[in-house]
Amino acid sequence: MSEQDKQAGRARRAQVMGDAFVERAMSGLDAFSAPLQDWLNEHAWGSTWQREGIDLKTRSLCTCAMLAALGRSTELKGHVRGALNNGATAVEIREVLLHSAIYAGAPAAIEAFRAAREVLNELGIEIEEAR
């Protein structure tokens, strides 16, 4: 990989997660934490998130499901925003998280719903359909 891959990754990361998210992640880096952010920009965002085969919305929804299963609510919040940026609806996000409950368990799904609800509330997004 190259510096070009890192830059492409940073651009894709900003496209998905938003400029403010990337600026927060990249600000104040020191010699200890900078290599991780460089690695993420190069490999996660510069390689995997650049691949063809599935669109960004699908990639975002898959990421939300995996983070829900892993119980990583802080990262999930960022990726819920990313999924919305990539065209996912609140209903689609809800259904992905509900689906994850079957395979990851209710405690993981409950935590994921809390995290997603927090982001949706912050953004003023409501679901108005019946149960």
| Predicted confidence (pLDDT) per residue in 99-128, tens digit | 999 999 999 999 999 999 999 999 999 988
20/79 same-domain check: no
Pair 22, 85 in one domain:
no
Regarding whether 94 and 131 lie in a shared domain, the answer is yes
Residues 67 and 44 in one domain: no
Burial class (CB in 10 A: 0-12, 13-18, 19+), 9: buried
Residues 35 and 65 in one domain: no
Average pLDDT over the chain, rounded to an integer:
94
Task: Based on the fold, state whether residues 28 and 91 are members of the same structural domain.
Answer: no
Query: Could you count the other beta carbons within 10 Å of the beta carbon of residue 44?
Result: 15
Nearest alpha-carbon partner for 93 in 115, 71, 75 = 115
Residue 130: pLDDT band (50, 70, 90) is low
Where in the sequence is the domain holding 67, given as residue range(s)?
54-131
Do 61 and 115 lie in one domain? The reply is yes
Is there a single domain that holds both residue 74 and residue 125? yes
Has this prediction a pTM greater than 0.85?
A: yes
59 and 44 in a common domain:
no
Q: What's the pLDDT tens digit per position in 37-50?
A: 999 999 999 999 99
11 and 63 inside one domain: no
Q: Are residues 58 and 43 in the same domain?
A: no
CATH number of the domain encompassing residue 123: 1.20.1290.10
Total structural domains in the chain?
A: 2
Is 52 buried (19+), middle (13-18) or exposed (0-12) by CB count in 10 A? exposed
| 10 shares its domain with 61 | no
